[in-house]
Structure 1
Amino acid sequence: MDLRHLETFVAVAEESSFSRAADRLHVVQSAVSATVRNLEREWGVTLFHRTTHRVELSPEGRALLGEARAALAAAAAVGHAVDEVRGGLRGTLRLGIMQATQGQGGLSVAATIAAFRAEHPGVSVQVRQGGSAEQAERVRTGELDLTFLGLPDDALPGLDLTVLAEPELLLACHPEHRLAARKSVELKDLADEPFCDLPPSWGIRIANERAFAAAGLPHPLAYEINDLATITDFVTHGLAVAIMPSFMIAPGRPVALVPIRRGAPRFVVSIATPTRRPAGPAARAFVAMAQRHAYTAPPDE
């Protein structure tokens, strides 16, 4: 067994497909199948249950996946140390991002990646988008090296968080809505409003549900949508209201934004690395770059 065998096992597990794993590793599918068979023979276990349409980890495969990822991480740490000694960063950085229209908490992810690549051209950045709760778990399991998160917390189990911003969450409604002209609203004012919100694993949805639960109020969800532009569209046509930061609404859209007082949902934009394994130099350099690009509001805002 060598590291390439472990990489193949992890790739098949993460892709749930021999063909997709082969594409990811830039080898032919027969080589992937042969490597997995050799590992199963060497270890004396069945790693995957194969059917015509699906590839699933066996219980033994699930038990060994974490150890395989840990071994690959340890080998990568040695490579990172060598790169640091040589004075340059190389390799691949697996980065998780959220969905946002005008940046995340005032931070442009694209600008951060561009600046990082200009400073460290030897590092390839692979991007994976998803909900914050899902991305956090991918960092814990080793599927991602680090991720941007938008969650109500600035402390999460198994993760080291660097807080980048804490944007205010506002009521977004149609300009002719009954609450649009208010200077501020309370959550109790919204108890009977039809809400449009993101899926349960998304940070803003988690923040909203926690705030309504803390106030002893229902979260009256009329529409669940996983696209911020569509949520804004529903608000502009008067179908629903939403609670979101202003940066998630494209400029020029006819949306009234009203501050929420007393128990407003809390939304924290952070970048997360795993607690149980040390972040490599590329990950540490990216965190530092994100901090430099994070938006800081002037004192009078």
Structure 2
Amino acid sequence: MDTRQLEYFVAVAEELNFTRAAARMFAVQSTVSAGIRALESDLGTTLFVRSTKSVALSPAGELLLPEARIALEAIDRVRSASSTTGIRGRLRVGIFTNVGFVDLPGLFGEFHGLHPLVDLQLGASASGSTGLADDVRRGRVDVAFMGLPIQDLVGLEVLTLAETRFVAVLPLGHPLAALKRVTLRDLAEEKFVDTPAGFGNRVVIERAFADAGITRNVSTVVSDLTEVPRFVAADLGIAVVPELSLVLPPGTVAVRLDPVVDWRLSVISRPDPSPAVAALLGLFADRVTSASAG
């Protein structure tokens, strides 16, 4: 068994596709397949159930996956500890499609400049914060941006980047648009524009409505939180979004909620972070939290 075989195994396990795994590893598919066969021979078990149409982890593969990730993280730690040229390793980050007030390209560019030997991989989750939290717990992602409530993140390390409150976004001609504050009950009969189920902002506001005994009618679903107000401007419904993410288009107005519903933007990781994870979290703590405090 060698490190490359474990890397091939994790790549195939995460992609469930040998072609995509080979592209990700910058290897030809035959090399990845040969590495998996050698690993299976060494372990004396089948790690994948293969067919002409699909690839799935076997029961043995399911058991091996978290251990393989731990082993690769340990190897990265050894390489970083013994390196005289800086931190090494792979760093997988789950991001939102648009965080708005956080300059992600600038921050990740700065990180790459500081730690050029870290293989930085960025990606989003179709199921938003809920999917990203699961990815971090299962070791598919090392660090993730997060909009879930703190109580949903038990067992994870949480760095809060910013806190804000929800506001209602209404068309200018709406009967409630002239008010200074509205209640969730005031909005109960409206059609809503919102992000998909599982996104952190939607999880928080859905719970607030549920606690008030209200079932919402979400008629329009938009995958980019910052685009939601534009659909309100097109008179497709109203919205309730975090104020920090809000860019009001012409023809809309923001009204605060009473009582206040809070929302928190965080970055999460597993306990005992690798040197690469610790360096990224340190950069965010220095740049983002200090900027939001100012």
Q: Say if 2:119 is the partner of 1:124.
A: yes
Query: 1:8 Cα shift?
Result: 0.7
Q: Against the structure 1 CA distance between its residues 217 and 251, is the aligned structure 2 distance closer, same or farther, given a 3 Å change threshold?
A: closer
1:231 maps to 228
Q: Give yes or no for contact 1:183–1:259 (8 Å, CA) kept in 2.
A: yes
Query: In the aligned structure 1, how far is the partner of 2:4 from the partner of 2:179?
Result: 61
| 2:236 partner SS | coil
Q: Deviations over 1:239-276 (max 9, x none)?
A: 111111244344644321111111x433211111102x
Q: Contact conserved, 2:191 with 2:219, CA < 8 A, in 1?
A: yes
1:97-176 alignment, distance < 5 Å: 97-100=95-98, 103=100, 106-130=101-125, 131-153=128-150, 156-176=153-173
Structure 1 length as normaliser, TM-score?
A: 0.89
Deviates more, 1:47-56 or 1:106-115: 106-115
More displaced stretch, 280-289 vs 202-211: 280-289
Pair 1:62 & 2:43 matched: no
Residues in 1 aligned to 2:201 and 2:283: alpha-carbon distance in whole angstroms: 25
Q: TM-score scaled to structure 2, two decimals?
A: 0.91
Counterpart of 1:291 in structure 2 is 285
From 273, 281, 290, the equivalent of 2:275 is 281
Which has the larger displacement, 287-296 or 130-139?
Answer: 287-296
Q: Structure 1 CA distance, aligned partners of 2:11 and 2:114?
A: 29
More displaced, 44-53 or 251-260? 251-260
Gaps of 5+ in 2: none
Task: Give the whole-Å Cα distance in 1 for the aligned partners of 2:251 and 2:108.
Answer: 31
Q: Is the 8 A contact 1:12 1:18 kept in 2?
A: yes
Distance 1:232 1:169 in 2: 13
Matched, 1:25 2:25: yes
SS at match of 2:165: coil
Cα distance in structure 2, aligned partners of 1:241 and 1:178: 12
Distance 1:91 1:230 in 2: 35
Instruction: Quote the residue 1:267 is aligned against.
Output: 263
Specify the SS of the correspondent of 2:98. coil
Aligned length: 290
Greater mean deviation of Cα atoms: 250-259 or 284-293:
250-259
Instruction: Tell me the distance in 1 between the aligned counterparts of 2:77 and 2:116.
Output: 19
Q: 1:178 Cα deviation (Å)?
A: 1.4
